[in-house]
Structure 1
């Protein structure tokens, strides 16, 4: 059965381990769930709005990203279905992939296979995984095969990295995941670093340290980035007045919003809307 994105779907609702076929369609709001999402477009790719940027996903490429990052299809070139697999983030960490590869995923990169030699075998794999789920076969075999394919991609993507993520790194990644999840759910509220530490049961300084180690940014900076990313999506896809938009994203003053937006985006909110809006 082909699926369409459910606009009424609850934010952060998990898909679990799945492999499905979706019909590409324009999304009126972003999807967000704490899983690794893997896409494969057999014919034409799509364009996602991802962290305030438009990113085109190429056809015939095994592509994956951390779906906790808001992602929204804003351009489609075909009505032909594509494959979507989702893997719970906790399972992904258990695979002990190269630390540098995991770091790229945590940092919000979309990673696509660069070697076209895998295109035909990838399409056959996705078809088999999809059939396994449709026919209610044992999904454990499909999960092992997905794990193997991601392992191959990771070690070829970073060939000089033979060292997998360690137990202590997995523990930190789990803690960072909880922090990122808390921020994702509450960034429109007036949250402080102390609130985050309390929510994840870590001292605020330690939470800030391990988060910066992974993301290269402080918790306060990340909260601002989340708010500005939200503002960018609204500027691109709505005609909300900028003042109303700023407060809806979690800023307590228009001056702080303007300063943060200029620092992160390099443009004023008005300039950004004028040069990028889909509503023009």
Structure 2
């Protein structure tokens, strides 16, 4: 997983790795100031149950207030710098490809990818109980319930995307379109590749073609992507396509073959192979599990 300190990877760092690369996780802890900035390959959703805390996020102070959701792309280096003592925090770590595949406004996805730090404009009283239930259920949950918790978390993000939001935009580009000083070139390259994949995941994609469109060497593209996302470009494409397919199977009545082609798998056999290997069930079995008995 691509969770790192700006001082370099350190097996004795003072934070733990609670999740595997590309997986969803939910956890609760008493927040504290970080010794160094770090980043990882998830979209992070914070619910501070009490107290107040501030992050240093791309050189800006971003404040998280009690019971108001905050959301940001954690591949952008961030560091908790000020925390009121005893502030308990619940964190959702949503795999980036799952977030990008959500049926939300493209402008919101782009804003998050370009460095917006989003906060709910108002408190939802149901969040505290819902997030705490996820924390309580997650450690002992089987695969089916873990998938359910992820789906519930994604639905909460979809609702958040429809609600009024406040943002301090730390996006990488100013009004002239130029990259801001201090921005990692690897992060810029990764963002542009993700934009291409997000727009054309249903088409045939190759690393060589993506790199050529960006005007960079294929080796530069692959190393930058892995550094930021913690996985290869091809692995990300597979996960993104699979995530889109899961949403289409769950939310629409499209024939399975249509879903396979719409998500860029090229053939029914390839779709069934990837789907079964990654989820343990076939697309038909997955859809039937969602149907009322």
- TM bucket, shorter chain: 0.5 to 0.7
Residue 129 of structure 1 aligns to a residue whose secondary structure is: helix
Superposed, 1:244-255 pairs within 5 Å as: none
Q: How many residues align?
A: 172
Partners of 2:40 and 2:184 lie apart in 1 by 9
- Give the aligned partner of residue 95 of structure 1: 102
User: Measured at CA, do residues 113 and 60 of structure 1 come closer, stay the same or move farther in structure 2, by a change above 3 Å?
Assistant: same
Partners of 2:213 and 2:139 lie apart in 1 by 45
Residue 49 of structure 1 aligns to a residue whose secondary structure is: strand
Q: What stretches of structure 2 of length at least 5 have no aligned partner?
A: 6-12, 166-182, 191-205, 222-293
Superposed, 1:50-199 pairs within 5 Å as: 50-116=57-123, 118=124, 120-137=125-142, 138-157=145-164, 183-184=186-187
TM-score (norm 1): 0.54
Deviation of the 1:17 alpha carbon: 0.4
User: Measured at CA, do residues 15 and 85 of structure 1 come closer, stay the same or move farther in structure 2, by a change above 3 Å?
Assistant: farther
Runs of 4+ in 1 over 4 A off after TM superposition: 184-187
Partners of 1:63 and 1:80 lie apart in 2 by 15
Partners of 2:134 and 2:210 lie apart in 1 by 43
Partners of 1:108 and 1:89 lie apart in 2 by 14
Say which structure is richer in strand. 2
Q: What stretches of structure 1 of length at least 5 have no aligned partner?
A: 159-179, 188-198, 210-218, 220-280
Say which structure is richer in helix. 1
- Give the aligned partner of residue 36 of structure 1: 43
User: Measured at CA, do residues 14 and 71 of structure 1 come closer, stay the same or move farther in structure 2, by a change above 3 Å?
Assistant: farther
- Give the aligned partner of residue 26 of structure 1: 33
Deviation of the 1:205 alpha carbon: 6.0
User: Measured at CA, do residues 203 and 139 of structure 1 come closer, stay the same or move farther in structure 2, by a change above 3 Å?
Assistant: closer
Deviation of the 1:8 alpha carbon: 6.2
Partners of 1:204 and 1:80 lie apart in 2 by 44
RMSD over equivalenced CA pairs, Å: 3.5
Residue 163 of structure 2 aligns to a residue whose secondary structure is: helix
Partners of 2:188 and 2:41 lie apart in 1 by 11
Partners of 1:62 and 1:68 lie apart in 2 by 19
